[in-house]
Structure 1
Amino acid sequence: MTTPSPVAHAAVIQDDMNLPRANGDTEEISELWSASEGQVTNAHIFFLAVLTFWLVLPVFYALYRYLRTANHRYTLTNQRLVEQSGIFVKQIESVELYRVKDLSVSGTLAQTMVGRGRIIVQSTDTTSPTLLINAVPDPMVVSHLVRETVERCRAARGVRAFDF
């Protein structure tokens, strides 16, 4: 059984997500896209832990990094981009999509080889003007999905961006 592409799946969800509220705003119902940070970011740490396993400390550090990365999740809804991280104490950072100014895509050699990459989100948000979405699968597809969702959110709110 094949799964639909993220863009096709998101397009179906987006059509159902924009339900108007009484004040004309759109209601946030469910997520458009969600992924966790890839373990490829820890490849060098895992490699060193295997080479120096008899020291025990590198193995514990590799386990810590594995858990930290496994608990780092990104979620895109029709209103915001949410980053959730933390093993024992959860930290949640949210960026309203109408505040997003720019998106760029990059990636390390190791990330590119396994089909992952990094998306850098620049926004006018005061608490986190730059949000790094690291080691996500198909970064170009996700970047286009975020850009389309930002445009829909801006149009629904009547927000226009001006550069000075």
Structure 2
Amino acid sequence: MTTTEERLAYADRVAEVWASRYRVPPIAGRIAGYLYVCEPAAQGIDDLAAALQASRSAVVGSVKVLELHGLVRRTRAAGERADRVRLVFDESRGFDPTRYREAAEIAEAGLALLAASATDQRAVLEETASLNAFLADRMPQLLEEWRATR
């Protein structure tokens, strides 16, 4: 059985990674990390604020950020006055080719603006366009491969 301190240390670790890699506020990463390991899985705003020793307003704002990213969902049971927050998992979110397709298109548009002599700039844009087009093409296949392993 894990202790509260171990769960909070885990939440802090998630916060560090998410803040540096995904550019979310550290408290948003702490909330996500805590929700990964807390019991019960759904927590009230006040519960999160108390557990993470954060202000209620910081928790509410960070939950909104996490909701926008599709990482948490608020629910409320009949008769309850407070929302419960829980993590959600959308398997297709990480495999969405849209962002890669857009990045490839942007790089290709930049290439169209460059003269043939701008080799340094062309090289970067060509590689960017190529990699992102490749990833956009492969993401649906990777999702199917991943589903097959589940």
Greater relative contact order, per chain length (Cα 8 Å cut-off, separation 6+): 1
Whose strand proportion is higher, 1 or 2?
A: 1
Which one has the bigger helix percentage? 2
Q: Higher Cα Rg: structure 1 or 2?
A: 2
Q: TM-score surpassing 0.5?
A: no
Aligning the two structures, in what range does the TM-score lie when normalised by the shorter sequence?
under 0.3
When normalised by structure 1's length, the TM-score is 0.23
